Structure 1
Amino acid sequence: MNSRRATWVPRRQCLAALGRVLLQGESLTQALADETAHLPPREAAWARALAFATVRWHVQLDAMVEGMLDRPLKPRDAVIRVLLCQGLAEVFHFGTPDHAAVRETAELARTIQRPGAVGLVNALLRRALREREPLLQAMQRTPALRYACPAWLVAGIRASHPEHWEAMLEASTRAAPMTLRVNTARVSRAAMQEQLHREGLAVHPHPLVPTALTLADPMDVDAIPGFADGLLSVQDAAAQWAGLLLSPQPGERILDACAAPGGKTGHLLEASSGQIDLTALDVDGERMGRVRDNLQRLEYRARMVIGDLADPQAWWDGRPFDAILLDVPCSASGVIRRHPDIKLLRRAADIPALATRQRELLAQAWELLRPGGRLLYVTCSLLAEENERVVGPWLAATPDAQPLPLAFPGGVERAVGRAVVLGTEDMDGFYYALLGRAG
C-alpha cells in the first residue's frame, strides 16, 4: 500500500464526513459509513478514528481556531474551519507527528478550492505548534473548554451530579471500550472468556456486571468468535443491567416498549432462556429490522410490532403485561463517548420536549401493565430532568404506583431510582427506576 495514500485518502474522507456533521447536522455514524464505505478496512478505521477525535474535542478545537483567526471566515468558507479543527485534532489529540499533521492538512486544503485556504491552514497550524502550551493552558479556563463539552450540558451534568460531574466529564473525553454480553443461557461467562483467549483475544470479565466481558482492543464485530452463533452480543456493561433488573420469569408476558435496535430485547430472552411471551414494539419500522436481525442471530423469537406506544389501540390485544421495559427516547448524554456528535447536535431546548415525551410514554405504558406487575424505566441520560424529575412527580401523581427496591453494583442512589455514573468501571451513563403497580 502506498504509505502516503494510507493517510491522505482517509484524511480526505474524514473531512467529507466532518463537513456533513458540522455543517449539515448529520449523524457522525451515518456520515462515516457513507464516506468510508469504499475504503480498505485499515484506511476506513483510520478515518473513523480521526473523525471521532475531531468531534469529541470539537468544542475545544473550534475555540482554538476562533482565537487564532485574525478575522471571521466567510460563511462560504466554513469548510476551512472544519479542516482547521481536523488538523488541530491531529496535533493535540491524535498523536500525528507535528510536521506530518501540518503538511498533510495543508495539502488537503488544496482540494477544497478556496482562495487562500492552503496558506491560512499552514500558517494557523504552525502557529498552534509554536504556541502549544499557552493554547492548552487557555483551554483549562472553563470546564466547557477543558472537557470539550457545551456549556449548557456541563451545567446540566453539574446540577444533576454535584459529586461526580467532573469525573463524568473527564470520562466523556475518552473512547468507550468494546464490551460484550455473554448469552449465559447457552454458555458461561468463564467458558466464553476461555474460548476467546484460545482464539488469541485479550478479554477480561467486567468487575460489576456478571454477563459482561470487555475486549482489550475493539474489533470488527463479525470477526468476534461466537458472535454469529448468538453466544455474544455487543452491549455496554451499564446497558446490560436492564435485562437483569427487570428479571423476566418463565411464562411472563413482557413488553419491550421502545425496542429498537434490539440489544435489550435479546437480553430479556437470554435471561429467561426464551421462556417468556415477549412483544417488541417500536415506532421506527426501519430500525425494527435490526431487532429482527438480532433475534435471528440469537435464535430467539418475539412478537414484533411496528407501532406507537401512545396509540395502543392500533396494536395491543387488550391483555395486560406482567412486566414492561420502557427504555425511553432521551438526550443520550450518557453515551457521548460512543456518539460524541451528541455534544454538537443536541441543544438545551431539546430537553424539556424530551421530558414531556418521557412522561407521556411512562403514563401510557402504565396503562398496559397488570396490577402487581413491574415496569423498569430506563434512560441513557445524565440529566435529572429526564430521570428522577420525570419519574418522581409521576409517582406522586399515580396512586397505584410505588418504587421497588433496586440495588446493583456501581449504581448511585437518586431521589428515585439509581444511576450509573459515566466512567464507573468504564461504563456508559444510565438511569434505572423499577416501579410496581399495586394489586
Structure 2
Amino acid sequence: MVFQRKKTEKSTALSVRAIAAQVILQVLDQGKSLSTLLPEVQSQIKPQDLPLLQEITFGICRVLPRLENIIKKLLDKPLKGKTRIVHCLLLVGLYQLLYMRVPAHAAVDEVVNATKSLKSDSFRGLVNGVLRRFLREQEDILAVVDKHWQTLHPEWFVNKLKKAYPNWREIIEANNQKPP
C-alpha cells in the first residue's frame, strides 16, 4: 500500500511537469495566454498540484529571456519543430533548478522521466545531459548570461524604458523581483 501511494505521487508530479511543458509550448509557439490555458488543464491534475503548475508556468514566463539564454549556452543547435516540447521541458527543468526549492537530483529525475509522458523518450539522454551539464557549469554559465543585469527583459523593452524614464534602472530592478 505504501509503495502504491509513492508511485501515484510520483506519477502526478511527472504529469505536472509534462503538462507545464505543454502549456509553455502553447504560450511560446501559439501566443496563447496562461490565464486561458491553465483552467483548461486543471482537470488533468490533482487540485493540490495546481499551485505547482502555476508556479512553474508563470515563473518560466517571468524569467524566460534568462532561461532561453541559458539554453543557448547548453545546446549546440536549437530544438525546433516537433522537438520544441523538449525545449519547453528543459525550461521547466532549469526553472526548478534555479528558482524552486526542489533538490537538484529530484528536479532532474522528474523532468527526465516526463519525457516518457510526452512521448519524447528518445530525448531522455539529451534532457539528462543538458540539465546535469548546467548543474556542473552553473556558475560559469550564469556569469556569462547574467553579465547584463537586465536579463529578465527583452532588449527592446529596456530601450523603451531608457527613452521614457530617467529612473529606468529602478523600474527594471523592481520588475526583476519575484511577486508575492
Report the TM range for the smaller structure's normalisation.
Answer: 0.7 to 0.9
Choose from 114, 128, 140 the match for 2:146. Answer: 140
2:159 matched residue in structure 1? 155
Q: Match for 2:174 among 163, 171, 175? A: 171
- Whole-Å Cα distance in 1 between the matches of residues 24 and 158 of structure 2? 23
Q: 1:54 aligned to 51, 54, 60, which one? A: 60
More strand per residue: 1
Residue by residue over 1:31-71, the C-alpha shift from the partner in whole angstroms, topping out at 9 and shown as x without a partner, is 11211244333211111111111111111101111111122
Question: Shift in Å at residue 127 of structure 1?
Answer: 0.2
1:98 and 2:98 matched = no
Structure number, greater radius of gyration: 1
What residue number does 1:393 align with? none
- 8 Å Cα contact 1:20/1:26 also seen in 2: yes
Letter in 2 for 1:86: V
Cα shift at 1:144: 4.1
| Structure 2 partner of 1:107 | 113
Distance apart, 1:72 and its partner CA: 2.8
Paired residues of 1:14 and 1:35 also in contact (CA < 8 A): no
2:50 is paired with a residue whose SS is helix
Alpha-carbon distance in structure 1 between the residues aligned to 2:39 and 2:22: 11
The 8 Å contact of residues 59 and 149 in structure 1, kept in 2 or not, is answered as: yes
User: How many residues of Structure 1 are paired with residues of Structure 2 in the alignment?
Assistant: 174
**TM-score, structure 1 as length reference:** 0.38
Match of 2:92 in 1: 86
d(CA) in 2 for partners of 1:8, 1:16: 13
CA distance in 2, matches of 1:95, 1:16: 22
User: How far apart in 1 are the matches of 2:52 and 2:121?
Assistant: 29
RMSD: 1.9
Structure 2 portions without partners, runs of 5+ = none
| CA distance in 1 between partners of 2:90 and 2:115 (Å) | 9
More helix by share: 2
Gaps of 5+ in 1: 178-439
Report the CA distance between 1:6 and its aligned residue: 4.6
Distance (Å, rounded) in 2 between the aligned partners of 1:36 and 1:171: 31
- 1:141 and 1:166 map into 2 onto residues whose CA distance is 15
Shift of 1:176: 3.0
Is residue 112–residue 124 contact of structure 2 (8 Å, CA) maintained in 1? yes
Structure 1, residues 4-37: CA drift from partner, whole Å, max 9, x if none?
2452232122122111101211001111121124
Which SS does the other structure have where 2:9 is aligned?
coil
Residues 14, 32 of structure 1: 8 Å contact kept: no
Aligned counterparts, 1:38-437, within 5 A: 38-114=44-120, 116-145=122-151, 148-163=152-167, 165-177=168-180
Cα drift, residue 138 of structure 1: 1.3
Q: Find the partner of 2:27 among 13, 17, 21.
A: 21
Shift of 1:143: 3.8
Q: Which 4+ stretches in 1 moved above 6 angstroms?
A: none
| Counterpart amino acid of residue 131 in structure 2 | L
Of structures 1 and 2, the one scoring higher in RCO (CA 8 A, sep 6+) is 2
**Partner amino acid, structure 2, of 1:158:** K
Which secondary structure does the structure 2 equivalent of 1:119 belong to? helix
| Aligned CA distance change for structure 1 residues 102 and 38 (closer, same or farther; 3 Å) | closer
Please give the alpha-carbon distance, in whole angstroms, between the structure 1 residues aligned to 2:97 and 2:179.
Answer: 21
